[in-house]
Structure formats: structure tokens, C-alpha cells
Structure 1
Amino acid sequence: MSRLPWTWPSRLRMILPHAALAAVLAGIMVLPQPVCADGSVVVTPGDSLDAATLEDLVRRSLPGPEGGEWSIRIVQPGLPLFNPAAEPLSITVALDEAKPMEGGRGPERVNGWLRATDARGHGARLRLVAELQVLETIPVPLRPLAAGMVAAPELFGEAAWPRSRLEDDVIRSLDELAGLELARRLPAGRPIRRAALRAARAIHRGEPVRIVFVDRGLQLTVTGHALEDAAVGELGRAINTTTNRQVQGRVVAPGEIVIGGSGP
């Protein structure tokens, strides 16, 4: 690669070790630069290449991960990089690995080169190292939630979370919360594991229930109060307030137990 016609301190060569070149290029002004259609960024004289812009360049050079997006952290070179030339520089990225590995419990690394070229084709390059993680958008509580609360959609928002830190039983969508309630307290902003959820209780200990006796086409309804919590489809115990006797039946709807027959 030919040299850029710049006058640099100590007349350093254009292709330098990372530490030396970073020291020469380090600047104070940090302005985000738009990425061009060809995947390059133009840094005008006196401006700098910032971390967000370089991360975007790297992201555009990677294949999109399935069901998520890349989180990128630039390890090398040090940023921002200042353009000391009297003309704009076109910045491009070339990665050594075409497809970084996913999985594991930490970020993967990808290596490559950052290239700076002027209008005459003169240029320089810097070694590029970046850490990559796949971010997956998942539902999280908007605030701390108490055990026993129904998992209503308005209680949850969405957050991007590193896939490598998500357990296999983490809830991935709001649809998975339908008909469930919290089996234990949930902190705000954290992934929700299935073990923290259960089927929503349709009867609650100490609360009134309707007890329906069904026998050979006949139906008798009395009132009572529940002796335990139970979800629809589960067996639940209650006290028949008419006879003061304990009964057990199938919970078929909120506040309703059926004894005998198959229930609605």
C-alpha cells in the first residue's frame, strides 16, 4: 500500500504498530460519521472516527445472526482516531474471519484490518480486533413484581440481552406468558425463567367459590370457600358452606369447581 502524503510528527511511516499509530491519531473531537452505500465512512480533515461508527462498519461486514443482532466492542485500535490530513479519508473494514463462531458463555473475537485511503489511493491500515456477542430481544419486568401476580402484558417491556448469558428455559416472547402468573418475585429488567411462572390460579385459598355437583344430568350449585389455590384443570378443595363439609372437585373456571360429570 502506498503512502499518504501527510506530514506527521517524527515523520512516521504510514503503516505503524497499533500503539504508535493510535498515539499519533488520538484526537479530541469525536463526531459520528455516516456509513456510505459502499460500506465506507468518510472522515473529513479535523474530524475523528469514533467507536459507534467503527462498530457499525464491523456490523455491516458480518453475516446477521439468526434471531438476534450483533453487539460489538472494539478492542483494537484505541479510539477515537483523528484525521490529521488536509483532505478527506475513506475508511473501510476487512475482516479475516468471514463468520465468527456463536455460542459459549462469553464474547467471541474477530480480527481484521481498518484501512484509510485518500482520493489518490494512498493509504494506511491498522490492525482491528473486536469482541462480538449476539443480542436477543426478550421480555423483562418493567418493575419488581410480587409472587402471585398475573403475568399481564403491560407489566413487561423488552430488552436486548446477550444470548450467551440466557439459559435454555428463559421466556423469549410475551406470547409465552399468556395464562400464567408469578410463582416467585421477579426483579426488574432481568430475564424470566419458566420455573418462576405457573398456571394462573383460578381459585384462591379463603376466597368464595361456586361448587357445582353434577350427577346423571342433574346439576346442583352451592356456595363455598376455597381451601387452597388451584389453576384451571387442577383438583381443588373447598368447604361447602351449606353442609360445612369439605369437598374436592375439578377447577373449570375462575371461582368454580365441578364435582362429578366431566365439567364444562
Structure 2
Amino acid sequence: MPARVAIAGVFALALTAAGATHARAATLRSTALITSGTVRLSDLFADLEPGQDRPLGPGPAPGASIQVGGAQLIAIADEYGVDWLDQSPSAMATITRASRILDQAYFADLIRQNLPDLGNGPVSIDLRDFHPMMVAPDDPKPVVLSDVKWDQRSGWFSATAYRGQPTGDITRDSFMLTGVIHAARRLLVYAHALPAGSVISASDVQLDESYAGHIGSRAFTNEADIDGMTVTRGVVAGSAVLDQDLHRTVLMHKGDPAVITFAAPGVHLTATGRALEDGGAGQYVHILNLSSSMIVTGRVVSASEIEVEAGSNPVPSDSNTLRHLTTSSRDASRADLSLR
């Protein structure tokens, strides 16, 4: 009986010792996120012995990953004396370097810091052929700009960007940064989205005192200039009101009958006439006075009324004048007449 107890005690001690050995065994990390540029033994194995951790080699670039296969893991464990449970040639560990993204807003702010002549007013900085950059999250100065050039008249700028912490890859450590800087302007913008074919009224636009977006053509600043015009394409709220997106809405068509009105202090005259060209609201067109057979120039008030202002000089309606007006009207229609 005592012998059996002794054997059982020895067996229990052996189990306890084995359990303690396995308790101290390392386990593989299948994935690891590192913040430094060096891979350590503890990035591959957890539960290492005290003082066993050590650097293994360079890590991936910020935002990139490397994979360590089973055969290499076994070799590393053997070299550094790591008691690794469940060793297998099919094992795999993936190590990813933490990163942050430098986007367009970051580089636009960097350009502004390097161009003190821009002042403190609002500007729009549009980058061309831009690609975001991955950098270490704790890098205090990830990019340095050099050779910053800016043409104030055209707005074009260029600069060379260098990584603060080079990777050793010349194609990634520096690149050209180019774009256009637009100074803020006072102009009309759309108050809300409008579909193509919409006729604009004063409630559809508002004045932006510091618009800094890109302007590809003439922009409007006066509501009266665009009232009654038609949008040729869909527009979004906040975008600039540009002449390339508008055309004059025709109220009066060539050949339409119209009432000619003339008003001056103490005088109000009316006559019947016939429009000699198309015209939109507020647009000046030629009209034939049927009573006097004279041609006058007046402003389109509505689809049936032309207002002739004081100082307007009528011209005879001879065949040459009518032919000239007809040709001019046809050419103007092709060019989509704007307010004169």
C-alpha cells in the first residue's frame, strides 16, 4: 500500500512538472499590429520567458504587411530557444505596420503653410493626380516640401514632397505635388439642387461672400442677370452659377405680335409690333412698329410686351435692314444669346 502511494505521488509530481512546462510554453500570434519599424520576437510569439524578447529585423512599411511561414517560424523558434506549442509547417503569422493616411486635406494645409503670400483668407487648393500616402501614426513630421513654386496669376503651383522617414524606395520617398490655388470670390451660388431645364428665380440662388471653389467660366454676381434663365444641366447646392450652365429662356419668339410701350415723365405711348428675333426676359431685341414701319430696340418684359427706353433711335424698315436683322438674329440664336 505505501508503495502504491509513493508511485502515485511521483506520477502526480511528474504531471505537475509537465503542466508547469506547458504553462510556460509560447503561443504563436497569427496576426500582429506593430507601431515601430522593427519586428521583435514577441510580435511572433506570446508568453515568452522573461528576457527572451529581442529584435529580429526590419518591419514592413507603414500600412503594409509581411507574412512569416511555418518553416521560418520553426527556424526562429529553434534559434532563440522558444518552446512553441503546436509547431506546424502550415502555420502562418501576419505582421502589419500601423499607419495613418495623409489625404488631400493634409497636403492642402501643408501647401498653405509653405505659401505665406496666400494670407489668411479662404482659398481652394485642388491637387492634380494625387495619391494618398501612408505614414507611421507617431511620425511628427511625415512630409517635408521643397522647391515650392506658385504663379499667382494662373494659380498653378508645384512642389517636391519628401518623406520625413525614408523607406529606401526612391519611387515612394519623394514625388511631385501639383495643382491650382483659387482665391475666394464674391459670387452667386445655387441655394439648392436643380435639375436640367429648370428656370431660375431669385429664390434659387444666394450670394456667397467667400466662394473658393474652381470656376471654369464666367460667374455671376447679380441676381438680375440670371433671373428667368434656364439651367442646361443638373446643378447641386453651393456650386457657382456659371454662364456655361445657363441659357436665356425664350419668352418672345421671332414673328410674335407684341405691344410696344414707351414711358417718360408725363408721356406713356403704346403701339403694336412684331418681334424680329427671339428674346428672353430682360433681353434687348428688335421689333417692327406696324404703325410707323420703323424698327425699334426694346427690352422684353413678357411674352407679349416690349419696353422701349428713352433715347432709343428707330431705323427705317427697308429690305436691307430687315435682311441684316434676320441674319444677325439667326447667328445669335446659334450662339445662344446672353443678356446685353
TM-score, L = length of structure 2: 0.41
Structure having the higher helix fraction is 2
- The structure that has the greater radius of gyration is 2
